[in-house]
Amino acid sequence: MSQIFEGIRVLDLTNNLAGPITTAMLADFGAEVIKVERPFFGDDSRAWPVQIGGASSLFVQANRGKKSIVLDFKNSADMETLQKLVKKSDILVESFRPGVMKKQNLTYDELCKLNPAIIMCSVSAYGQTGPYRDRPGYDLIAQAMSGVMSINGHPDGPPMRLGPAVADNTTAYHAFGAISAALFHRSRTGEGQFIDISLLECMTMQIDCFEIASAGNEATRNGNHSNMLTPYGVFGQKSGGMMIAALNPKLWNILTSLMDRPDLADDPKFVTVAGRNENQKELIPLIDEWVDSFTDMNKLEKLLMKNNIPCARVRTVKDVIDDPHLNARGTIAEVDVPFSKAMPKLKIRGTAIKFSKTPGKPGPAPALGQHQEEILQLLNE
């Protein structure tokens, strides 16, 4: 076996990002993922920017390594084809609003009649049960409702969204792990099962300060600095930013020495982490000023690293995509885009999970209906 999910077939009835990223990760590690798309338009993300030569970079990222077939849920012959595919599949992942699968007679109970061992994963905004189940939702709505926006941003500013699609990605990672666990369970018992994953709940898992709210206090925004640890944040008002973490006494003493401020190391206000955190408003500007005294952030980064201070220059996405470490480890990967003449290859996120014996590798994303005949032929085998 060269890949961990080799021999596993996945029916992908997902759209947008969270569901497709889930199944793309399964494809990275060898699963045969059959993406079922609607006629003419396919997945919504095919039309999203950035468009290069008629191909969406987001679609390529979220649908790498898959096969595409076009089926119309309003067509009885196409629904019969889908049912036949269910019988030949191990996993079905869908991301419709709750109730849609029931209208199509594709609930987990109905699927089990066709394939008792099937694993079904439903990805939705709020889950299949509960007061919010019927509400529409997207990544940013989950960010807002989870409380994450309320603790992101500057204290004197409004709540801020997180730049990346964090809710979609986090949900995909949860779903990938859940499906893997369900496959392990099936290997021991022969039983499939139903998995209910929601953007809101997965985004809520990002909150690491529930204890503050549980104690009766409101967690607040603190800009580029931690509410609980100091110095632990992005320093420098003019320089572009340097992330510095000097949390234990040894690191704090080294940092104050590099700053040529030994007085700070002995100041009772700053001797402990708790004291430094309590006196953030006085301490942060002092470190900001020191960081801004460097005209070259690379030089500062080298100085901090030489003295074993955990740090990182704040980099652009362009910096990251060309990073030699991430490229060497396959975390940044290049895939073919055969259906785009203007973009024959594209750099995307690769696999962050590194298996020693069954490594993953992203494959090309499909054109709409590219594998129609191949998949229909499968039903005759």
- One-character DSSP codes across 265-298: HH-TTTSSHHHHHHTHHHHHHHHHHHHHT-S-HH
DSSP conformational letter for 47: G
Domain positions in the chain are: 9-206+321-378, 232-314
Write down the pLDDT at residue 380: 87
Catalytic residues: 168
Closest C-alpha to 176, from 200, 206, 202: 202
- Extract the tokens encoding 43: 């997945």
Q: What pairing do the DSSP bridges indicate for beta strands 55-56 and 51-52?
A: antiparallel
The neighbour count for residue 228, using CB atoms within 10 Å, is 14
**First-last CA distance in the chain:** 23
DSSP string computed for 190-204: S---EEEEEHHHHHH
pLDDT digits (tens, 9 = 90+) for 189-240: 999 999 999 999 999 998 877 666 666 777 789 999 998 899 999 999 988 8
CATH (one of 1.25.40.10, 3.40.50.10540, 3.90.180.10, 3.30.43.10) for 9-206+321-378: 3.40.50.10540
Burial, 2: exposed, middle or buried (Cβ in 10 Å; 0-12, 13-18, 19+)? exposed
Residue at 344: amino acid letter? P
Bridge partner list, 69: 36
3-state secondary structure of 231: coil
Write down the pLDDT at residue 217: 73
CA gap 362, 333 in Å, rounded: 7
CA gap 250, 218 in Å, rounded: 32
**Residues with pLDDT less than 70, the chain:** 1, 210-215
Span 232-314: which CATH code? 3.30.1540.10
Write down the pLDDT at residue 215: 62
pLDDT digits (tens, 9 = 90+) for 56-79: 999 999 999 999 999 999 999 999
Q: Where are the alpha helices (DSSP H) in the chain?
A: 18-28, 57-62, 76-87, 100-103, 108-114, 139-146, 166-189, 199-204, 210-214, 249-258, 262-266, 273-278, 280-292, 297-306, 317-321, 324-328, 372-378
Burial, 132: exposed, middle or buried (Cβ in 10 Å; 0-12, 13-18, 19+)? middle
